[in-house]
């Protein structure tokens, strides 16, 4: 990805609707996923804006600490680089919601299990959503990535090989310094509702 942590516009899932930037995209939109470009960590909010973060590439064995890395309004976050197969644009799925983080983790678990059957290829996913009734929050929507095929990411970059299973879930002892710009607030609008 040319060393860029966040690529293109942000793909997000809000109240049952998928969006790239501000444009709604329908369910069943197809994307190619770069599972080796999966980032996770913590995001600090200040005055309703992202102010700082502690993020690392999951496949570089970065596991964020279980507790917030400091004082303030920290939220766990996840980022995953993808290519829109309709428009051809590279986007980054960004979420601070529990459903978003779990959707990416579930996708990567499946990719790790199946990667040996598809060497040098990445999964093709279709966007979906599910919902459930929560006692406190009412109807809660969550994103779902359904693998429908595998293809080669058609550029000159070499994919980082996928491990047989995802990185362990124990906390990290050291934190990387945040060295990238934070995504704009619009990437997280829907996560602010909780």
Q: What is the mean pLDDT of residues 170-176?
A: 39
Cβ atoms within 10 Å of 175's Cβ, excluding its own: 16
- Whole-angstrom distance, CA of residue 98 vs CA of residue 143: 10
Contact between 45 and 73 (Cβ < 8 Å)? yes
Residue 145, Cα to own-chain centre: how many angstroms?
Answer: 11
pLDDT at 187 over 60: no
Give all strands (DSSP E) within the chain, no chain letters: 9-14, 17-20, 23-25, 30-46, 49-57, 73-84, 90-95, 122-134, 138-151
Band (pLDDT 50/70/90 cuts) for residue 157 is low
- pLDDT value for 173: 37
Contact between 65 and 175 (Cβ < 8 Å)? yes
Contact between 107 and 33 (Cβ < 8 Å)? yes
Q: What is the pLDDT of residues 53-73, one digit of tens each?
A: 899 988 888 888 889 988 999
pLDDT at 184 over 80: no
Give the global pTM: 0.79
Q: What is the pLDDT of residues 107-140, one digit of tens each?
A: 999 998 998 899 889 999 999 999 888 888 788 8
- Whole-angstrom distance, CA of residue 65 vs CA of residue 60: 15
Burial of 171 (0-12, 13-18, 19+ CB in 10 A): exposed
Q: What is the pLDDT of residues 4-63, one digit of tens each?
A: 467 789 999 988 999 998 899 987 899 999 998 999 999 999 998 888 889 998 888 888
Q: What is the DSSP letter of 3?
A: T
């Amino acid at each position: 990805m040319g060393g860029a942590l966040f690529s293109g516009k942000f793909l997000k899932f809000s109240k049952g609707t998928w969006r790239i930037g501000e444009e709604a995209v329908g369910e069943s939109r197809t994307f190619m996923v770069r599972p080796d470009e999966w980032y996770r960590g913590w995001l600090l909010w200040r005055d309703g804006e992202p102010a700082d973060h502690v993020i690392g590439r999951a496949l570089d064995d970065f596991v964020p600490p279980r507790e917030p890395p400091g004082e303030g309004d920290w939220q766990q976050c996840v980022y995953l680089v993808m290519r829109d197969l309709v428009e051809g644009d590279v986007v980054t799925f960004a979420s601070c919601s529990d459903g978003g983080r779990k959707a990416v983790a579930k996708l990567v678990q499946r990719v790790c299990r199946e990667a040996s059957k598809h060497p040098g290829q990445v999964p093709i996913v279709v966007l979906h959503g599910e919902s459930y009734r929560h006692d406190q929050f009412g109807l809660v929507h969550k994103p779902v990535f359904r693998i429908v095929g595998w293809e080669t990411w058609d550029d000159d970059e070499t994919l980082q090989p996928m491990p047989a299973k995802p990185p362990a879930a124990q906390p990290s002892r050291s934190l990387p310094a945040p060295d990238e710009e934070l995504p704009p607030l619009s990437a997280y609008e829907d996560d602010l509702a909780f």
